A and B are shown apart, each in its own frame.
Chain A
Amino acid sequence: GNSVTQMEGPVTLSEEAFLTINCTYTATGYPSLFWYVQYPGEGLQLLLKATKADDKGSNKGFEATYRKETTSFHLEKGSVQVSDSAVYFCALRASGAQKLVFGQGTRLTINP
């Protein structure tokens, strides 16, 4: 079946550090890939997405590239801020399907 595996947390970094949160997936065909973010006390928000191989999604300084050859969609940011502290979820939607399949989430804490 379809599944998403993401880097276990929690992850703690200092402000301005480089961030990578790893995400790999298992799916047949060509799924769409997403990163969602859940800030403290708020609902899930779409951070970025990519719908085909080699696409790069980007938003708020975050980037992720859809790598078909390695079945990966790693999230990166060059310089994190305290306000980036949140839980990050990698997700896929299989081709022709409706539901999102989520990874287990990675809690990120940025210290000043």
Chain B
Amino acid sequence: GAGVSQSPSNKVTEKGKDVELRCDPISGHTALYWYRQSLGQGLEFLIYFQGNSAPDKSGLPSDRFSAERTGGSVSTLTIQRTQQEDSAVYLCASSLGPPGRGDEQYFGPGTRLTVT
């Protein structure tokens, strides 16, 4: 079956513009995660959804970052007024259910965001 998909694969934007990144999880997966991979910070957690609710938003770096999930499926990560330090690869992952011991998170290919 299809894996986690993300779009766009690459996005170049000017500083100050807003961007939206999309994630389509594996069908039937109720848990969805956003991570960010950057040279300076490594791989860091941003937000976790269970269904359409986000019980853990602790990794969002500032109030310029927000995310939503609709229909228990597609998720959108929005970055407002982008800054150069937002340049990174944004990864989405999904897993079958609420995290239990050993639940595997399946990762998408990522969206490479470059802020000029």
Contacts and interface: CB of A to CB of B under 8 A. Distances in A.
B56 A105 contact: no
B45 A101 contact: yes
A46 B42 CA distance: 17
A99 B106 CA distance: 13
Interface size class of B (residues with CB under 8 A): 20 to 34
Contact of B91 (A44, A52, A91, A104): A44
Nearest to A99: B45
A71 B9 CA distance: 37
A36 B104 CA distance: 11
Contacts of A98: 31, 33, 48, 50, 55-56, 98-99
Interface residues of A, number: 22
A46 B108 CA distance: 12
A97 B99 contact: yes
Interface string A48-60: 0101100000000
A52 B101 CA distance: 9
A89 B58 CA distance: 22
Contacts, number: 53
Interface centre among B35, B98, B102 (most CB of A within 10 A): B102
Nearest to B31: A98
A2 to B, nearest CB: 11
Contact of B101 (A51, A91, A102, A103): A51
Given A49-B102, A98-B33, A99-B59, A43 B107 contact: yes
Contacts of B109: 42-43
A28 to B, nearest CB: 15
